[in-house]
Amino acid sequence: MLISRDKFVGLEEVTHLCAGGESPMLKSHEQAFNRFMRDKSMGERTREKQDAVLKTTREQCAQLLSVEVDDVTLLGSASEGINAVMYGLSWQAGDNVVIADVEFASGVYPWTRLADQGVEIRIARHRDWCVDLESIDSLIDERTRVVLISHVSMFTGQRMDLAALSALVRQRGARLVLDATHAVGVVDVDASLADVVVSSCYKWLLGVHGCAIFYCNRERFPELEPPFLGWNSVSAAGGWRAPLEMTLRSDADRFIPGNPSYVSIYLLNNALDALLATGIHSIEEHALKLTGALHHGLTDQGWEVMTPAPAEFRAGNVCLMTDRVDEIAQTLREHQVMVWGTYAGDARLRISAHVYNDQDDVEKCLQALSSIR
């Protein structure tokens, strides 16, 4: 494993293979939380202290995404980031948005708000659980404003070829909105290939709820306006003498109208210290090794594995479709193996491998599943 299990809360007894749902808390978050408590109590100096942590955290995010820090900020959730794009663009009747059928709900529902403006939602259908570039390409035309796709699918585990997707969307003059929630923190993501990137922080990034990465490529997406404005959106203000005078900030923080969730950001800062020190390339290699072994073992046992086998088309998730969820759920609980999808009871199970997992975890999971098979 890359980060020792004993650095996390609650991993002594269980085999935790569900970072794709919720990752366990780093024990060092307690110190980060204490730092937040101390800084929060410093009166007027509080803002200066908290803004310093926000600045460092934005720098860490920019490093992770290989982009300029001014293009990155932290909104409240990935879902909020997608809604910011929907509300931040001015739409015309006849425009369309392209998504995939296996997209997460928050990549789908926001666009339905545009129906009464005459905006069409086009849905690329998967084949054998894979979304291919041809099916996306066939839906794009000169009225396509946005293509929203997950870099790594939460549903199937498929990783898109980001460079090829980016080239395709750009060539057709549309904007690529990438949900990288299941990619950032586990595989290398070059965000500059997209026009907007959103990512939750409570899964692969080892943070908590309340903040999510929002990257907006200002050069490529100048028409995107912040949909909500507040005191934090501006770099200059007229004050009581000229209340309506203001200059919008030029950096991505213009998308944050008020105070962000600093407590979440302190914890994200701490998590990113750990992930960046480990190195994203090592993390990717480690996760691919473990998901490769999972994929191989599950296929051998005869399960319907939805995730593609080649390493370049998967990341930290291996997903399987089954009509035996209840039986699997019970067996895995008896073996103290945690995966995702057993409580929701949908027919899809997701097994995830991250920095605190090792080959032993993979064996335990496979062994438990083989007892059912």
The site for ligand PLP (CB under 6 A) is made up of 77-79, 104, 106, 150, 154, 179, 181-182, 200, 212
Q: Which is nearer to ligand PLP, 210 or 226 (CB)?
A: 210
> 60 or 106, CB closer to ligand PLP?
106
138 φ, ψ (degrees, to nearest 5): -70, -15
Tell me the closest approach of the beta carbon of residue 107 to ligand PLP, in angstroms. 7
- Give the closest residue to 136 by CA, choosing from 151, 145, 147: 147
Can you read off the two tokens belonging to residue 206?
Answer: 């080892």
Question: Residues 6 or more apart from 182 whose CB is under 8 A from it?
Answer: 20, 150, 151, 152, 153, 154, 157, 203, 204, 315, 316, 317
Phi/psi for 55 (5° steps) reads: -60, -45
DSSP string, 306-322: -S-SSGGGB-SEEEEE-
Q: How far is the CB of 80 from ligand PLP (least distance, A)?
A: 7
Among 196, 224, 243, which residue's Cα sits nearest to residue 78?
196
* Nearer to ligand PLP among residue 178 and residue 368 (C-beta): 178
Based on CB atoms, which residue is closest to ligand PLP, 20 or 226?
Answer: 20
CB closer to ligand PLP, 26 vs 78: 78
**Closer residue to ligand PLP in complex, CB, 153/269:** 153
Q: CA 186 to CA 356: how far, in whole Å? A: 12
Provide the minimum distance between the beta carbon of 120 and ligand PLP in the complex, in angstroms, as a whole number.
Answer: 23
Task: Report the nearest approach of ligand PLP to the CB of residue 242 (Å).
Answer: 37
**Separation of alpha carbons 297 and 116, rounded Å:** 49
Q: CB 239 → ligand PLP: shortest distance, Å?
A: 35
Residue 76 CB, shortest distance to ligand PLP, in Å, is: 8
